[in-house]
A and B are shown apart, each in its own frame.
Chain A
Amino acid sequence: MTTLTPESLRTTSTPHQKSHLIRAEWTKLRTVRSTWWTLSAMVLVTLGVASIAGASVSHSWTTFNVIQRATFDPTGISLKGLLFSQLIIGVLGVLVMSAEYGTGTIRSTLAATPQRTRVLIAKAGVVGALSLVVGEVLSFGAFFLGQSLLRSPAPHAQLSQPHVLQAVVGGGVVIGLLGLFALGIATLIRHSAGAITTYVGILLVVPIILQTLPSSFSQPILKFMPFHISDVMTSTVTVGQGSSLSPWVGAGVLALYAFGTLAVGGYLLRRRDA
């Protein structure tokens, strides 16, 4: 038989490093098509909505009444497409974990790295970094595209104006944290369909159900919902004063969702059979 040459092993004999795991997770992420589909969809939808919103507001500005003109938020409107990206980044975050279970890759992964917490941290590092970077690029891209299409007399925003930079950066932060939240959900649920359904349910369906209930009951819960928090974080005007969290508190709550599910998921990952 062909002999196995251990030479090539010795050349890179280095102690176990976190960077190895991060690199491996990045290799995994970039070598499946679903990653590129989901990212393309995010670009398309977010920039698409920004251009449509910019163009249509410019077109119909003259028909706006006084209140509409007074409360018009050129920053917020250009970032509206991020809502769709928040759903799509969930698919990406979920698949990073659930596809491993669906295909059995998790066995290869955990055989290569039996320290399961490290595997989850590496995954979270890669998913968090990718969704944050993509989120920021999209947020800034949508902002500049949207503003360039807002023609006078419709006003447009500049980063130097109050709260604008914070809102645009916030749009990317939301995407970054929701990517991690989705990863956490998938670590708990382990099935693609179940995890995506849960994620979309929390983002989209729960708020819709809440809105059908008396507002005295629904308001205190609604302000903790991710879509609502993202609305607050991407606006330069105060949304629903009193019934909303501040942008900073909102970001904290999203982080709590993300790291909370990851922590519980990590605990279960260590205990459960692969």
Chain B
Amino acid sequence: MIHVRELTKHYRETVAVHDLSFDVPPGVVTGFLGPNGSGKSTTMRMIMGLDRPDEGSVTINGRAYVALDHPLREVGALLEAKAIHPGRSARHHLQYLAETNGISRQRVDEVLDLVGLTEVASRRVGKFSLGMGQRLGIAAALLGDPGVLLFDEPINGLDPEGILWVRNLLRGLAAEGRSVFVSSHLMSEMALTADRLVVIGRGALISEGTLDEFIADTAGTYVKVRGPQLAEIERVLHAAGATVVPDGEGALTVRGWEASAIGDLVMSKQLALHELSPQTASLEEAFMTLTRDSVEYHGRTTDVPVTTGK
């Protein structure tokens, strides 16, 4: 279990993370989604005690990272930047990490086997392909058999087979009851892997909840309804059991009902309709719509205060 509370981090003028709070519960995969530069890696480094937050706190199983006696046995992480000396062999890299936390050499061989690097274990890491490097990073994360796992963009550089392997690995780890936290800027990938989503933009929380909630809220097919007495239409549809959300631009987003049924119902109540159009939004579009403001915002300015989009 990871608790992130009111985390804020500045790098000089840049606000990398702003007042961010969320949880990573056990037994599920929590996806960490945000556009480039939104602060995912920074947040992960702060969880790992590598970067010091300006404000806020992180606890892992109730304790701060620095208070963990054998951190590798409680938290495993694949961080974005390759954190491996190119001149050292894969086995030696894992061996020194194992030694720091009193983990046996047998376990080093086990994780090498688990990620399929046994045959190249004695080769220098500098000669590894991107995918092999990722696998070694994953092996390091699994070394202490930890209950909490962080992966920063684990599918970077992997081929389709590798992506499938990571997806199954993450789901398997969560099914064993571990807390799995994985970042990505690809909504489509998260839709296949994650049970929960934490979405951030420009360092601030945009949404947190289950994947299903996210999809219900933002994506899929829906009907756009517009009319002069919008509040009345909303009330009628709501009373009839439809999911109705004002889209903030003078129209209603209605889910769970066909356009024809909506039209019939509204007409039967003697209300005028100005628009009644079925819409489809992919998850990717939904994600982009959700984070668009923060992305544009990010491109233009550095020192304007961040507005939380939630």
Known interface pairs A4-B176, A105-B83; A20-B97 also in contact (CB < 8 Å): no
User: Is A104 within 8 A of B82, CB to CB?
Assistant: yes
- Which of A1-48 touch B at CB < 8 Å? 1-6, 8-9, 11-17, 20-21, 23-25, 27-28, 31-34
Interface residues of A in 251-274 (CB under 8 A from B): 271, 273-274
Selected from A13, A100, A111, the residue in CB contact (under 8 A) with B77 is A111
Interface bits B48-68 vs A (CB < 8 Å: 1, else 0): 111110000000000001101
Q: How many residue pairs, one in A and one in B, have C-beta atoms under 8 Å apart?
A: 126
Within 8 A of B (CB), among A103-150: 103-115
Asked whether any CB of chain B lies closer than 8 Å to the CB of A99, the reply is yes
B88 at the interface (CB under 8 A from A): yes
Kindly state whether residue B258 has any CB partner on chain A within 8 Å: no
Interface size class of A (residues with CB under 8 A): 35 or more
Q: Which residues of B contact A3 (CB under 8 A)?
A: 176
Contact indicator B172/A274 (Cβ below 8 Å):
no
Chain A nearest Cβ from B14, distance in angstroms: 13
Check B81 for interface membership: any CB of A closer than 8 A: yes
Contact A1 B168 (CB under 8 A): yes
On whether A24 and B66 interact (CB within 8 A), knowing A8-B110, A9-B73, the answer reads no
Q: What's the nearest-Cβ distance from chain A to residue B268, in Å? A: 54
- Decide yes or no: A6 and B51 within 8 Å by CB, A27-B95, A103-B86 being known contacts: no
Instruction: In the complex, identify which listed stretch (B98-106, B244-252, B298-306) lies at the interface while the others stay far away.
Output: B98-106
- Nearest opposing residue in chain B for A6, CB measure: B145
Contact A4 B145 (CB under 8 A): yes
**What residue of chain B has the Cβ atom nearest to residue A33's Cβ?**
B87
Residue B96, interface by CB 8 Å = yes
Please judge, given known A-B contacts A34-B87, A110-B49, A110-B50, whether A5 and B110 are in contact too, CB under 8 Å. Answer: yes
Say yes or no: A31 contacts B89, CB within 8 Å.
yes
A24 in contact with B97 (CB, 8 Å): yes
Partner of A9, one of B65, B92, B145: B145
A-chain residues with CB within 8 Å of residue B72 when the two chains form the complex: 111-112
CB distance from A107 to the nearest CB of B (A): 4
- For residue B257, give the distance in angstroms from its CB to the closest CB of chain A: 41
- Chain B interfacial residues counted at CB < 8 A: 50
In the complex, which residues of chain A have a beta carbon less than 8 angstroms from the beta carbon of B96? 24-25, 27-28, 31
| B142: Cβ under 8 A from any A Cβ | yes
Contact of A1 among B50, B110, B172 (CB under 8 A): B172
In-complex Cβ contact of A103 among B84, B103, B114 (8 A)? B84
A274 cross-chain contacts in B, Cβ below 8 A: 45, 50-51
Q: Which of A2, A20, A33 contacts B101 (CB 8 A)?
A: A20
Chain A residues with Cβ under 8 A from B172's Cβ? 1
Provide the bound-state CA to CA distance between A73 and B33, in Å: 72
Contact pick for B85, options A1, A24, A25, A99, CB 8 Å:
A99
B144 close to chain A: CB less than 8 A: yes
User: Distance (Å) between the CB of A72 and the closest chain B CB?
Assistant: 45
Whether the Cβ atoms of B84 and A105 lie closer than 8 Å is yes
Q: Which residues on the A side are within 8 Å of B77 (C-beta)? A: 111
Q: In the bound complex, how far is the Cα of B75 from the Cα of A2, in angstroms? A: 19
Instruction: Report the separation of the CA atoms of residues A77 and B295 in the bound assembly, to the nearest whole angstrom.
Output: 68
* CB-defined contacts of A32 to chain B, threshold 8 Å: 85, 87-88
B278 proximity list for chain A (CB < 8 A): none
Beta-carbon contact of B140 and A108 below 8 Å: yes
Q: Across the interface, which residues of A come within 8 angstroms of B82, CB to CB?
A: 103-104
| Residues of chain A contacted by B95 (CB below 8 angstroms) | 27, 31
Inter-chain contacts of A11 with B (CB < 8 A) = 104, 106
Say yes or no: is B69 at the interface (Cβ < 8 Å to chain A).
yes
Q: Which of A104, A106, A114: most chain B Cβ within 10 A?
A: A114
Q: How far is the CB of B275 from chain A (nearest CB, A)?
A: 49
Report the bound CA distance from A9 to B108 in whole Å: 10
Kindly list chain B residues whose C-beta atoms are within 8 Å of the C-beta of A12. 102-104
| B107 part of interface (Cβ distance < 8 Å) | yes
A118-B93 Cα distance, complex, nearest whole Å: 19
Interface residues of B in 148-182 (CB under 8 A from A): 168-169, 172, 176
Q: Name the distance in Å between A243's Cβ and chain B's nearest Cβ.
A: 45
B3 within 8 A of A: no
B79 touches A107 (CB 8 A): yes
Residue of A nearest to B77 (CB): A111
* Contact partners of A100 in chain B: CB under 8 A: 85
Q: Is the CB of B100 within 8 A of A8?
A: no
| CB atoms of A14 and B84 under 8 A apart | no
Q: Which of A13, A106, A273 has the largest number of chain B CB atoms within 10 A?
A: A273
Docked-complex contact A9 and B103, CB < 8 angstroms: yes
Residue ID in chain B nearest A113 by CB atoms: B100
Residues of B within 8 A of A (CB): 45, 48-52, 65-66, 68-73, 75, 77, 79, 81-89, 92-93, 95-97, 99-104, 106-107, 110, 113-114, 140, 142, 144-145, 168-169, 172, 176
**Could you pull out 8 A-B pairs where Cβ atoms are within 8 angstroms?**
A15-B69, A32-B85, A107-B50, A111-B50, A111-B71, A112-B100, A114-B65, A115-B66
- CB-based closest 5 A-B pairs: A1-B172, A24-B99, A31-B92, A107-B83, A104-B83
Q: A1-B172, A2-B113, A112-B101 are in contact. List 15 more A-B contacts (CB 8 A).
A: A8-B103, A8-B107, A9-B104, A20-B99, A28-B96, A31-B92, A99-B85, A105-B85, A107-B83, A108-B83, A110-B49, A111-B49, A111-B75, A114-B65, A274-B50
